[in-house]
Structure 1
Amino acid sequence: MAVSQTNFAWATLLEIDPARRDRRLHDRLAGALRAAIRDGRLAEGAALPPSRALAEELGCSRWAVTQAYGQLVAEGYLAARVGSATRVAWAPRAEPPPRARRFRTPPPVRYDLAPGLPDVRAFPRRRWAEAVRAVIGSAVRYDLGLPDPAGHEVLRTTLAQYLGRSRGADTDATSVSVCAGITDGLARICRALGAEGITDVAVEDPGWPRLRDAATAAGLRVHPVPVDDDGLRVDLLARGPARAVVVGAAHQFPTGVVLSPDRRAGLVRWAREVDGYVIEDDYDAEFRYDHRPVAVMQGMAPDRVFLLGSVSKTLSPALGLGWLVAPGAMAAAVRTANRVAAAPPVLDQLALATFIDRGWYDAHLRAARRRFRARRELLVRTLGSQLPQGRIAGSAAGLHVLLRLPDGADTRAVVRSAAAAGLRLADLDSYRVRRSARPALVLGYGNISDAEIPLAVALLRDAVRPTVRASSPR
């Protein structure tokens, strides 16, 4: 039969073979509808077009459509009611795959003490919306064209100024690139280093696994270096082949230590001696509660230090906005290392520039620091009263604490038991390349309210106690 081209969706959905002249038109139409229902292309409850409209769009008589509809109503595939659309009344039986039936549904999360998220409930919705509206109203024609892979010049200029006054960075817009976050920025840097002949990079152990993965995906060999109470063991770098190192100087994740002054200077010396680079992850630098955070290492040696930052922990990871500052000699290599990498949406970039320029970002950080300082103090006090056998480690900064458990405690069992009770936890060993005999948990307090902390710690206490008793000598 001839099919009208006025409705491509229905022409595609209903596979009516025009060559089948041995069957009547309404039988062929009923067969096509039946097949579409059976294989799920027409879902249960979906409304079919009125018979007159479908006949016009398929280029056939209305009688053929009403006959097809009537046949499928009689078979139970369709349901027709006076004054209402004809709807699909049947669905294929949905069988879960055999393997899936063997696994139990995980219990719902009641309280979240795992690290990784800020307080997204405090996202500044009104001011962010104002920034977006301002950008949409003021964006010029070329702002809406093809984006600069390095990021919009307005945001790069704003970020250079912000990093200079708030973090002591030594940079300008030509050295700043806008990226989708820390992992994206590190992947771009590692590609650029590989193009320059650097094939080995050192990373902190323990550390964020996605950073190791990003370096490996970029083609570099990764070498874990231990972290102690003063930060990365710089003395061990000289023993390996690495000519680049990724380090969290302001607040190392997950141990929470701050890189000591001697090791900061030692890292810069090492980079110069091996003709290499330091990649500084400025993680949690905005949240220091005992005193002002130290300035970035990049300001000490802008020719040897890359700087990475993002708004994932200060505003929201949903924005997907970050930045990297490259040494002048490497800026062009970073921008050309991956030509298919796209910068975040231009309007979002301009909204962030507006948010910073109007002082809203600084105001948001001040409020967040007060809130997180109080929440951290509440968590530490509660842990001290409910789990006196534990010990808090790390500096008063960031959005997580390290809780060291008594020797012999089984952290894996603690995490499993807590999960069964609806409490999400993170084992320090999940961030290590090599497991340690010192049991510890990484407790995040960004994604939990103050009122939930006592309840969450009570569940944590109940999960820890059996493992401590089981490991105690008799």
Structure 2
Amino acid sequence: MSRTRTSSGAGELLVELRRDAGVPLHQQLEKAIRDRIRQGLMRADTVMPSTRALAADLGLSRGVVVEAYQQLVAEGYLVSRGGGYTQVADVAVAEASATARTTAVSLRIDFKYSKPDVSQFPRAAWMRSLRKVLNEMPHLSLAYLDGRGALELRHALADYLNRVRGTAARPENMLICNGFAQGSRLLLQVLAKQGYRRLAVEDPSDNELREVAVAAGLEVVGVPVLETGIDVDALEQSGADLVLVTAAHQFPTGAVASPETRAALVAWAARRDALVIEDDYDAEYRYDREPIGAMQGLSPDRVAYAGTASKTLAPGLRLGWLILPPRLVEAMSEAKLMDDRGSPVLEQLAFADFVARGEFDRHLRRMRPQYRLIRDTLVDRMAVRLPELVPVGVSAGLHVMTWLPPGLSESAVTAAALERGLGVYGLAPYWMDGKGRSGLVFGYGSLTVKAVVEGIDLLAAAVSGVSE
């Protein structure tokens, strides 16, 4: 019979002992502690319960615990300290950590996408907003929320997005979510329940959302991306009743949807009684072109708009928002409440104040030239060291893409780069069938100018090695 006890003292230790196992109890205790240390689940210098307390806690004689501790001390997993207490040994945890690290690749430089420079998070301004909220918010703000989220944030975001992105947002039609991941998942689930059947996605595009759509019960079809955005003629032939687009800066090609493409998408939605999902994920970072308004402002009843603070502030905030056609608001609000009862209110209210006081605008104005400098460095260094790789989609966002010339294998280049401690990433995962044209995606948001230069030099060496 299994028996588990925990102590009520300062040093608790959950251990399972089986009296009917035929294995001495001191050996069971040794193994339980040893395994936990090996797995890195007990950190170095963790203070163990006293032998007397643990014995009482587990219903053992003190001699059994003493014998187990003595064996683990002899093996180097525990160490006895002056004053009569025992700790987890540094060496044992170091060995466990080293073993775990052998399965991971150590990268000197990583061009992975979706990594903004979180070191630039405006801590002082955020703290002012947070302090103000804590001092001034009414007690009822800490109660359960409306499924749409804090009204203060919906008002602040509606004002901001209508001014900066040209949306037609109304606070009552907005919903706050935990980033784009939750917002898109809930939206696709709701749409599937309402009878939508086929989702068209840009090809190439983010592969993770396709999996979410399939899990929601939707069929997913790919539609080619042109230099002017998604191919609306191909969309017309796809039979889709939903389409997801990254019109402001397509991922991963960087294409910007032209005014003609945007108008054609809205007209398609009206003809088909369909819905456009507009992921406006990094529209605020533009460098070499005039700002282009969101499609949602053209047709609020036919476009569901999604935005997030993950690229502009920090992904760890888990702040996202949707502007919904009125007919979807109630169903989405119910789905949000069913999913998690609502996003944390303090962060919502702090962000509302942060946006309303103009701090969000100031942060973006400060970051644009910094990101542009890194983007320019990447493009310029590539032109010198790797002229055969021509960047595209460089006018906005936090990534660029390059097509690979014929004869240069995507997998060979990424593998050769990895051997040099460089993380670069191919296009294969983003194609619907995994067999599209070869290329590389470079995320540069979290890198320094120096790191970008070193990274391109490493890539040049890797390409040279593959080409020989």
TM-score range, shorter chain: 0.7 to 0.9
Secondary structure (helix, strand or coil) at the match of 2:33 reads coil
Q: Does 1:35 align with 2:28?
A: yes
Q: Where does residue 424 of structure 1 map in the other structure?
A: 423
The DSSP-based 3-state class of the residue aligned with 2:85 is coil
- Secondary structure of the residue aligned to 2:304 is strand
3-state SS in 1 of match to 2:250:
coil
Counterpart Cα distance in 2 of 1:252 and 1:76 = 57
Residues 164 and 170 in structure 1, CA contact (< 8 A), matched pair in contact too: yes
What's 1:217 paired with? Answer: 215
| Map 1:43-442 → 2, pairs under 5 A | 47-50=47-50, 65=62, 67=63, 71=67, 83-86=83-86, 105-337=103-335, 339-342=337-340, 343-435=342-434, 438-442=437-441
Give the TM-score normalised by structure 1: 0.85
Instruction: Please state whether the residue corresponding to 1:254 is helix, strand or coil.
Output: coil
Mapped to 2, the partners of 1:337 and 1:34 lie a distance apart of: 50
CA RMSD of aligned residues (A): 3.4
Change in 2 beyond 3 A, CA 1:16/1:137: farther
Q: CA deviation at 1:463?
A: 1.5
Residues 231 and 252, structure 1, Cα contact 8 Å, conserved in 2: yes
SS at match of 1:170: coil
Asked if the contact 2:112–2:444 (Cα under 8 Å) also holds between the matched residues in 1, the reply is yes
Which shows bigger deviation, 123-132 or 349-358?
123-132
The answer on whether the counterparts of 2:5 and 2:16 sit within 8 Å (CA) in structure 1 is no
Aligned residue in 2 for 1:7: 8
Q: 1:39 is paired with a residue of what secondary structure? A: helix
Higher Rg: 1
Aligned partner letter, 1:245: V
Structure 1 residue aligned with 2:442: 443
Residues 230 and 257 in structure 2, CA contact (< 8 A), matched pair in contact too: yes
CA distance in 2, matches of 1:194, 1:331: 15
Change (3 A) 1:86 1:32: farther
Q: Is the 8 A contact 1:199 1:220 kept in 2?
A: yes
After superposition, the Cα gap between the structure-2 partners of 1:53 and 1:161, relative to the gap in structure 1 and judged at 3 Å, is same
* AA at the equivalent of 2:32: D
Equivalent pair of 2:26/2:67 in contact (CA under 8 Å): no
The total of aligned residue pairs comes to 448
> C-alpha separation between the residues in 1 aligned to 2:18 and 2:195?
60
Counterpart-to-counterpart distance in 2, 1:75 and 1:115 = 49
In structure 1, runs of 5+ residues without a counterpart are 20-30
Shift of 1:419: 1.0
Q: Distance in 2 between matches of 1:417 and 1:346?
A: 47
Are the aligned partners of 1:393 and 1:403 in contact in 2 as well (CA < 8 Å)? yes
CA-to-aligned-CA distance 1:139-194 (integer Å, 9 cap, x gap)? 32222122332211111111111111111110211110001122221222212222
Amino acid in structure 1 at the alignment position of 2:462: A
Q: CA deviation at 1:337?
A: 4.1
Tell me how far 1:13 sits from its aligned partner. 4.2
Distance 2:250 2:240 in 1: 20
Separation in 1, partners of 2:289, 2:238: 35
Instruction: For 2:170, give the aligned amino acid.
Output: D
Q: Deviations over 1:54-81 (max 9, x none)?
A: 6887899xxx64x556555666668756
- Following TM superposition, by how much is the alpha carbon of 1:209 offset from its aligned partner in structure 2, in angstroms? 1.0
The offset of 1:87, in angstroms, is: 5.4
Identity %: 37
What residue identity is the alignment partner of 1:270?
W
CA contact (8 A) 2:51 2:66 kept: no
Q: Return the offset for 1:213.
A: 1.9
SS of residue in 1 equivalent to 2:375: helix
Distance 2:89 2:52 in 1: 21
> Does the aligned pair in 2 maintain the 1:250–1:258 contact within 8 Å?
yes
Q: Deviations over 1:264-301 (max 9, x none)?
A: 10001100001111111112110111233111111011
Moved more, 334-343 or 219-228: 334-343
Contact 1:76 1:90 in 2 (8 A): no
